[in-house]
Amino acid sequence: MSSNELTVPLNLAQDEIDSSQRLVQRARALARLQRLSRLLDYSFRVPGTRIRGGIDPIIGLIPGIGDAVGAALSAYVISEAARLGTSRRTLARMVGNAALEAVVGVIPLVGDAFDFAFKANRRNIRLLHRELSGQYTAPAGDA
* Residues 5, 8: Cα–Cα separation, whole Å: 6
Return the closest-CA partner of residue 81 out of 127, 20, 134, 36. Answer: 127
Amino acid in the structure at residue 96? G
* Contact call for residues 88 and 41 (beta carbons, < 8 A): no
Three-state secondary-structure class, residue 96: helix
Q: Between residues 106 and 15, which one has the greater pLDDT? A: 106
- Which segments within 10-58 are labelled E, that is strand? 44-45, 52-53
pTM score of the predicted model: 0.77
Helix (H) or strand (E) segment spanning residue 141: none
| Model confidence pLDDT, tens digit, residues 1-55 | 555 554 555 565 666 666 777 878 888 888 999 999 999 998 999 899 988 899 9
Please state the domain extents for the chain: 29-132
* Residues 132, 134: Cα–Cα separation, whole Å: 5
